[in-house]
Structure 1
């Protein structure tokens, strides 16, 4: 690596982080809005609330509400993180770590809730679920380590941070 070249800006491996965030935003938005259309929201709710319907179960209704609410929350958080990324805000690394970690926890809770509460009588142990979670954890740990250790990240995401001189002059 060239010693005179300063690692700064949205380049190098940091481009992959940005691409991941953009694709994640598109994917979460697509999943959220396609589920709204696919389940025909009004028809499903009337069947879930009708005690004589075959679909009547409070757990499935709570699962759908919780899933849609958390997907909307993650969509908003992802939009905010994209804003921080492109404005090169000093808050980006912390919010990226929170987003990446909480997304895995959300998926784990979502899957366990679905398996043990919505479908309690269908006992299935799926190795694909464990494999997907382990791969996601490894993938997330790699990117979190990159964000924490990268010189480019430290040099790029500095906008909005108060300098020591500005802070001391306003206090004094």
Structure 2
């Protein structure tokens, strides 16, 4: 069994303390982990159900508040803790070939005129500027609250990789505009 990203996120939250899936969902959003893992309430509930079926988590209680639906609280089991450690270790030691859409778009950018490509890339870089500002603000706020640096590694990584990507794109745009970069002629 290979843990998917949402399963890893759920186990990591339960390593902190027992909680119910809705609380897990709220924490993932509050911590902006939805930038790293695709999170939807339904998919999180299904992930927790799979973890329970695999005996990586266990039910510790069920409660109901007023007219709200029952909430089942889960806790991490020892096999769950071991699976979490193993999967995180695999993920940080073994590069995985990912297929990001932007890289694919770059591989096909020669299909549009150079000036259109430069304009589109400029728009993309502008949006990355917004992302960089947002990430920087989130990291600053977390540091101001005294969040331990260990918990900010992913945010720091995202900030640095996004900044590097933006810088590379801006350099490419300059090279296209100054004709330093030879663009393939338009196809008929």
TM-score, normalised to structure 2, is 0.38
Higher helix share: 1
Highest relative contact order (Cα 8 Å, sep 6+), 1 or 2? 1
Higher strand share: 2
